[in-house]
Amino acid sequence: MKFEVTILGCGAALPTSKRFPTAQVVQLNEQLFLVDCGEGTQIQLRKYKVRFLRINHIFISHLHGDHYLGLPGLISSMHLLGRRKELHVYGPKGIDEIIDTNLRHSFTQLNFELIYHFTNPKEQEELHTTETFSISTIILKHRIPCTGFLFQEKERKPKINKSVIKEHQLLIPEIIALKRREDVVRENGEILAWEKLTLKVPEPKSYAYCSDTKMYERVVEQVQGVSCLYHESTFLNDQKERAAKTYHTTAEQAAQVASKAGVEQLVLGHFSSRYRDLERFLEEAHAHFANTLLAEEGLKIVIDS
Ligand SMILES: [Zn+2]
Ligand SMILES: [Zn+2]
């Protein structure tokens, strides 16, 4: 399964000449999901050659401008480019008013249907599911209602070699049961163990996107063991108090979350524009979690291939 993340922007608060505010694209097989949409996201989509008419689902973590100000412009461009297909927007209540007010005052009647799905900042919930993967929210702790998003592959059904089917003369109901990871007991007492007769399939992969949040125990539970965790690290330790006051995280704290949750890889992002040299983020994180990398525009993270 193709499972990739492309970082479009990883700056906090203000766009600068060095960094675009937050946005990224998650690709699952042929489907593209836009996660947050800071100012200038459509320019980044063009720059990194993401065909944005292929995006059918947009997830907005919260209503601070650095996470959604690019959305009215992107929707307007989709309209001008002749989009017909419905577009699903997931985010906190209020995102509808923001977009609808824009459209109303420009007397724009979209060529396509815009479908809002409001996220619940208090309870984890599934937002979208297919046969092969699901997307759900992650509860975060920020100054305003805010959720992250968890992309999870579903467990794949194990396969059975033809030679095994022949050898054991497996019947269709037996094959179905074995593929469901159930052992089969035949009338003569013979036991067909699914673990012995099926081929191993790769473990399902997962990606957790934690946008703005203070360090929060509940996040540790929700991202337990994910393949890749993107966690905000707006500040370094020199601004620990400021991080707590503004409900943000430091690089060290993000690494502590990754370590406690036993994730495979950590990606740091959402850097305050006060920092030019980002290497110090890595240094602070590495002391607690080795497999850490810094988000940067255009970075492609391969979760599964
Ligand atoms: Zn932010
Ligand atoms: Zn915020």
- DSSP states of 197-216: HSB--PPPPEEEEE-S----
Q: What's the CA-to-centroid distance between 300 and ligand 1, angstroms?
A: 21
Q: What's the CA-to-centroid distance between 39 and ligand 2, angstroms?
A: 14
DSSP 52: G
**Which of 197, 212, 246 represents a domain boundary (last residue)?**
197
Q: What's the CA-to-centroid distance between 206 and ligand 1, angstroms?
A: 23
Tell me what percent of the residues of the chain surpass a pLDDT of 70: 100
Nearest to 74 by CA among 94, 102, 104: 102
Is 200 or 88 the better-scoring residue by pLDDT?
88
Confirm if 56 and 29 have CB atoms less than 8 A apart: no
Q: What tokens appear for 163 in the block? A: 């030679």
Q: Provide the total of helices (H) and of strands (E) in the chain, helices listed first.
A: 11, 16
The pLDDT tens digits of the residues spanning 64-89 come to: 999 999 999 999 999 999 999 999 99
Are both 111 and 177 inside the same structural domain? no
**Which of 197, 221, 251 represents a domain boundary (last residue)?**
197
- Looking at residue 292, which CATH number applies to its domain? 3.60.15.10
Residues whose CB is less than 8 angstroms from the CB of residue 7 and which lie 6 or more positions away in sequence, other chains included: 24, 269, 295, 296, 297, 298, 299, 300, 301
Are both 190 and 60 inside the same structural domain? no
Q: Which helix (H) or strand (E) holds 121?
A: none
Residues whose CB is less than 8 angstroms from the CB of residue 293 and which lie 6 or more positions away in sequence, other chains included: 265, 266, 267, 268, 282, 299
pLDDT score, position 52: 86
- 1: pLDDT confidence band, cut at 50, 70 and 90? confident
CA distance 305 to 293: 19
- Interval 194-199 mean pLDDT: 93
- Interval 86-101 mean pLDDT: 98
Q: What's the CA-to-centroid distance between 13 and ligand 2, angstroms?
A: 8
pLDDT score, position 17: 82
- Interval 175-199 mean pLDDT: 93
pLDDT score, position 254: 98
- If you average pLDDT over every residue of the chain, what do you get? 96
pLDDT score, position 175: 94
The Cβ-side half-sphere exposure at 225, using a 13 Å CA radius, reads 4
Are both 185 and 52 inside the same structural domain? no
- Looking at the DSSP assignment, which residues form a beta bridge with residue 149? 137, 209
CA distance 261 to 42: 34
Are both 111 and 234 inside the same structural domain? yes
User: Could you say which ligand is closest to the alpha carbon of residue 147?
Assistant: 2
Residue 13 has pLDDT above 90, yes or no: no
Helix, strand and coil percent figures for the chain, each rounded to 5: 30, 30, 45
pLDDT score, position 18: 84
Catalytic center residues = 66
- Interval 199-209 mean pLDDT: 94
Are both 185 and 210 inside the same structural domain? no
| Angle subtended by helix axes 251-261 and 279-286, to nearest 10 | 40
Domain count, the chain: 2
Q: What's the CA-to-centroid distance between 96 and ligand 2, angstroms?
A: 18
Are both 134 and 72 inside the same structural domain? yes
Are both 10 and 56 inside the same structural domain? yes
Are both 78 and 135 inside the same structural domain? yes
Residue 16 has pLDDT above 90, yes or no: no
CA distance 34 to 55: 7
Total Cβ atoms within 10 A of residue 109: 6
Are both 177 and 235 inside the same structural domain? no
Sign of CA dihedral 250, 251, 256, 262: positive
Q: What tokens appear for 88 in the block? A: 């699903």
Residues whose CB is less than 8 angstroms from the CB of residue 279 and which lie 6 or more positions away in sequence, other chains included: none
Q: What's the CA-to-centroid distance between 16 and ligand 1, angstroms?
A: 14
- 116: pLDDT confidence band, cut at 50, 70 and 90? very high
Query: What domain range is 249 assigned to?
Result: 3-156+202-304
Q: What letter represents residue 67's amino acid? A: H
Are both 261 and 114 inside the same structural domain? yes
Does the global pTM surpass 0.85?
A: yes
User: Could you say which ligand is closest to the alpha carbon of residue 19?
Assistant: 1
Most confident of 161-165, 272-276, 299-303: 299-303
- 207: pLDDT confidence band, cut at 50, 70 and 90? very high
Nearest to 199 by CA among 155, 154, 157, 153: 157
Q: What's the CA-to-centroid distance between 202 and ligand 2, angstroms?
A: 36
User: Could you say which ligand is closest to the alpha carbon of residue 21?
Assistant: 1
Q: What tokens appear for 293 in the block? A: 């990398």
User: Could you say which ligand is closest to the alpha carbon of residue 66?
Assistant: 1
Are both 169 and 96 inside the same structural domain? no
The Cβ-side half-sphere exposure at 41, using a 13 Å CA radius, reads 33
User: Could you say which ligand is closest to the alpha carbon of residue 36?
Assistant: 1
Q: What's the CA-to-centroid distance between 24 and ligand 1, angstroms?
A: 13
Residue 282 has pLDDT above 90, yes or no: yes
Are both 81 and 175 inside the same structural domain? no
Q: What's the CA-to-centroid distance between 226 and ligand 2, angstroms?
A: 23
